[in-house]
Amino acid sequence: MFNRSEILTKAWADYRRDQKMGLGVRRDGPFCRRHFAYCLRMAWAVTKERAAKAAAPAALVPAKRPITCPATLARIEEIRAELLWEQLGERINWTAFHALQSELSTLTA
């Protein structure tokens, strides 16, 4: 489930950074197992927290009610077509593009 190689690499990078900056480890001193263990625990904690955050939003997001108004559905399709047309053109009018995107997000929210 977790990529242990990446976790260990992150722990080593944190340990070397701390050693270079002198945070909790003497510069150019002997290897400090206690501080490396701390870096490894923190790397595991960050990985577990990110995995929990990635899994949690799917369960917490309430189901959206479908849009039933024909005028709103028609406007959404118009906006999507305009956005696609803007992206296919040679130049993009970013002001209009962002305005269309914000209107689309308010209509679909």
Task: Please report the pLDDT score of residue 40 as a whole number.
Answer: 95
* Residue type at position 108: T
pLDDT of 88 > 70? The answer is: yes
Structure tokens at 38: 């701390």
Domains of the chain: which residue ranges?
4-60, 70-108
pLDDT at position 47: 93
User: Tell me: the pLDDT tens digits for 38-72?
Assistant: 999 999 999 999 888 877 665 555 667 777 788 88
Structure confidence by residue, pLDDT tens digits, 3-46: 999 999 999 999 988 888 877 677 667 888 888 999 999 999 99
Rg (CA), the chain: 25
Name the residue with higher pLDDT: 108 or 61. Answer: 108
pLDDT for 21 equals: 80
Do 67 and 108 meet the contact criterion of CB atoms below 8 Å apart? yes
